[in-house]
């Protein structure tokens, strides 16, 4: 069903133009941060990235609402984005806080132990990060597609992953394959634009190249290489983000209908259902 979800996602983005809005936003944010960083405005780039992440739940909520069936036009997209923005944002903030605290508690003993256990600490940090990413990845889709509350969406994401671990793992691998393919193609295209400027680096030994600061490397690329990289990055993130966001929603929607439990509650004398 993973490939069926991918096929559905491709069909959705092909016939529903508003589903490209999150990709346009993420691609624009990537290009902006990229340009600011390589031009030396590190602080400004970090602020722009942070504000972009804060705004991202609005664009995700709109896309998931369209996939859920709220409509196909811009009005429906904006309505869903407004409705679920704060819920996705708060759930994301809870996850970041919990992950940060867990990582701190994990790496603290290794830090106190000194450099002898530095490699083990890095491995533990990677393990914790991957565990969080694996189990809570679907929290935002649970918020919109199943109308879950903040904490319930996180619990639902963990439950969803535990019910179908193999298919979820295959889903992640397909995501990685798509991302790797887009990154590889983007690198090849960019290399055509900056090939003549990178020719002098061929004569530089590996140790000198590794010690060269990033701003010096970017000066070799030049303004044309910088802007071409930003443009190529924009389109790469645009296509990748649009496909993967829709793929995620379609995958969750297909499997949630199979694994979701009926809500507990009761009907009153007028036939209205009250959920416990």
| 265 in any annotated domain | no
| 269 in any annotated domain | no
| 44 in any annotated domain | yes
| Whole-number Cα distances in Å, 105 to 72, 88, 101 | 45, 26, 6
Reading the block at residue 144, the tokens are: 């919109």
Highest mean predicted confidence (pLDDT) among 20-24, 32-36, 96-100, 101-105: 20-24
pTM for the model stands at: 0.81
* Category of 16 on φ-ψ map: left (φ > 0), alpha (ψ -120 to 50) or beta: beta
Q: How would residue 101 be classed by pLDDT, with cut points 50, 70 and 90?
A: confident
How many CA atoms are closer than 13 Å to the CA of 26, on its beta-carbon side?
21
For residue 265, list its beta bridge partners: 275
Residue 74's closest CA among 28, 136, 138, 21?
21
The CB-based long-range contact list for 138-142 (8 Å cut-off, 24+ gap) reads 138/248, 138/252, 139/88, 139/91, 139/92, 139/95, 140/57, 140/60, 140/61, 140/64, 140/88, 140/91, 140/92, 141/64, 141/248, 141/249, 141/252, 141/253, 142/252, 142/256
Residue 151's closest CA among 60, 85, 87?
87
Please give the pLDDT value at position 119: 60
C-beta neighbour count of 269 within 10 angstroms: 5
Any residues with CB less than 8 A from the CB of 193 and at least 6 apart, and which? 224, 225, 228, 229, 232
Residue 20's closest CA among 236, 174, 243?
243
| 53 in any annotated domain | yes
Residue 62's closest CA among 146, 148, 150, 144?
144
Average pLDDT, the chain: 82
Torsion of CA 127, 132, 133, 136, to 10 degrees: 160
The Cα–Cα gap between 83 and 193 comes to 43
| 267 in any annotated domain | no
What is the domain count for the chain? 1
Per the CB < 8 A criterion, the answer to whether 242 and 59 are in contact is no
| 202 in any annotated domain | yes
Any residues with CB less than 8 A from the CB of 64 and at least 6 apart, and which? 80, 84, 140, 141, 143, 144, 145, 249
* Category of 40 on φ-ψ map: left (φ > 0), alpha (ψ -120 to 50) or beta: left
The Cα–Cα gap between 13 and 11 comes to 6
Q: Mean pLDDT, to the nearest integer, of 111-117?
A: 60
Domain that holds residue 15: 2-260
Residue 186's closest CA among 49, 63, 31, 50?
31
High-pLDDT (> 70) share of the chain, %: 77
| 103 in any annotated domain | yes
Largest CA distance in the chain: 84
Q: pLDDT digit string (tens) for 24-43?
A: 999 999 999 888 887 777 78
Please give the pLDDT value at position 260: 46
DSSP for residue 204:
S
| 273 in any annotated domain | no
Q: Regarding predicted confidence, which is higher, 216 or 52?
A: 52
High-pLDDT (> 90) share of the chain, %: 44
Residue 83 has pLDDT above 50, yes or no: yes
């Amino acid at each position: 069903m993973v490939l069926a979800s991918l096929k559905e996602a491709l069909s959705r983005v092909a016939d529903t133009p508003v589903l490209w809005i999150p990709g346009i936003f993420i691609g624009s944010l990537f290009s902006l941060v990229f340009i600011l960083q390589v031009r030396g405005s590190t602080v400004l780039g970090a602020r722009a990235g942070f504000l972009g992440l804060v705004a991202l739940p609005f664009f995700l909520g709109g896309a998931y609402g369209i996939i859920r069936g709220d409509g196909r036009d811009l009005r429906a997209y904006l309505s869903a984005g407004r409705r679920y923005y704060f819920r996705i944002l708060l759930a994301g903030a809870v996850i970041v806080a919990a992950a940060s605290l867990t990582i701190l508690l994990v790496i603290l003993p290794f830090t106190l132990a000194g450099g002898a256990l530095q490699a083990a600490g890095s491995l533990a940090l990677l393990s914790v990060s991957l565990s969080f990413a694996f189990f809570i990845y679907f929290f935002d889709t649970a918020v919109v597609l199943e109308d879950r509350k903040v904490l319930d969406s996180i619990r639902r994401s963990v439950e969803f992953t535990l019910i179908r671990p193999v298919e979820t793992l295959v889903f992640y691998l397909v995501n990685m394959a798509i991302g790797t393919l887009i990154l590889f193609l983007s690198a090849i295209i960019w290399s055509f634009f900056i090939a003549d400027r990178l020719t002098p680096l061929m004569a530089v030994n590996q140790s000198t190249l590794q010690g060269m600061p990033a701003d010096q490397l970017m000066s070799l690329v030049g303004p044309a290489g910088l802007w071409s990289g930003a443009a190529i990055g924009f389109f790469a993130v645009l296509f990748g983000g649009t496909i993967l966001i829709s793929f995620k929603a379609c995958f969750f929607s297909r499997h949630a209908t199979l694994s979701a439990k009926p809500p507990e509650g009761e009907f009153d004398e007028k036939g209205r259902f009250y959920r416990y």
